[in-house]
Amino acid sequence: MKNKVKIASLLLAIAGLSGCEINDPVNDWADLGQQTAYVYWELKDAVNAGSDLDFRVYYYADGSTIEKAQVWYGVSSTINRAVTCPYISYTYTESETDEVVASHLVKEFDPQTVSWDDAKSSYILDATFPVSSSWASVTWASVGSSDFTETLFKTYYPGDYETNFREALTTQIETDYHGNMKKIVVDGFMKMTEEEYEALFTKTTNEEVYEITDENKARLDGIVAALTTPELIFDGKEYGVNYNCTYTLSAKFQVSDSNGVISNTDIKNITVN
């Protein structure tokens, strides 16, 4: 019985060591047995495009010398596209996030010029790194008739967006076909009089449900299908567009020591305005 207990304890100890090895963050930086540097930085989480972002970094290494100090970042974009059909107060939205630029070296610093701070027991570097004006946010919203063009619309709303909007609008109309279609065909675009429109429907005896033949429905659907998307999103003064693209930097500070060991800070996500 004692031998069984010892064997069970040994297996548990091995399992514990395996779990530590899998979750040990040191493996992200160096091989086992290598001493990584301590590196930490402070900086804001937002910056204006075309400017420099200030930061402060603390680092030290035991038994080695820091030979490289660098800022790296990648860039991702978040795009929100929305259009509104004002006649039935319906808004259709799509969003996407994509990597624009992979993480790359942005700026390098000379570790030999960094001063040691006895109070912090660390080297302290106060510096900046550049943020390109290319990463400025872009907004195109509530556009007046003089500033709206089909070319700009297709630029900001490419691919299948327009098709998806039209399909979603059709689905929304179906939620109250009689009421929604009337707002578009009669009230909005005056394609027929109210009397002509109502003649296409039959009310049930309790007058709460409107019925329509396939032929009459196809006629109304055809009227909406013939309207262009810009027509469907224009309220007479502005086009119901709301496009916004923002960029985010995923930045880190990296140091390499004389043993070839690379150490990184946590990644900081920085919104570019």
Output phi, psi for 230, to 5 deg.
Answer: -55, -35
Q: Which 8-state DSSP code applies to residue 89?
A: T
Phi-psi region of 190 (alpha: psi -120 to 50; beta: other; left: phi over 0): left
Closest by CA position to 70, among listed 55, 81, 82:
55
Question: Which 3 state secondary structure label does DSSP give 266?
Answer: coil
Residues ≥6 apart with Cβ < 8 Å to 246: 77, 78, 137, 271, 272
- pTM equals 0.80
* Single-letter code of the amino acid located at 223: I
Output phi, psi for 173, to 5 deg.
Answer: -60, -40
Q: What is the pLDDT of residue 39?
A: 96
* Burial of 193: CB neighbours in 10 Å, binned 0-12, 13-18, 19+: exposed
pLDDT in tens, the chain (273 residues): 333 333 333 333 333 433 333 333 333 434 444 578 999 999 999 999 999 999 999 999 888 899 999 999 999 999 999 999 999 999 999 999 999 999 999 999 999 899 999 999 999 999 999 999 999 999 999 899 999 999 999 999 999 999 999 999 999 999 999 999 999 999 999 999 999 999 999 987 776 789 999 999 999 999 999 999 999 999 999 999 999 999 999 999 999 999 999 999 999 999 999
* Burial of 227: CB neighbours in 10 Å, binned 0-12, 13-18, 19+: middle
Closest by CA position to 220, among listed 195, 184, 194, 171:
184
Angle made by CA atoms 16, 19, 20, in degrees to the nearest 5: 90
| Contact indicator for 10, 2 with CB cutoff of 8 Å | no
The two three-digit tokens of residue 29, written as one number:
């930086």
Q: What is the pLDDT of residue 63?
A: 81
The two three-digit tokens of residue 28, written as one number:
């992200």
Distance separating alpha carbons of residues 178 and 190, to the nearest angstrom: 15
Output phi, psi for 45, to 5 deg.
Answer: -100, 15
Q: What is the pLDDT of residue 209?
A: 86
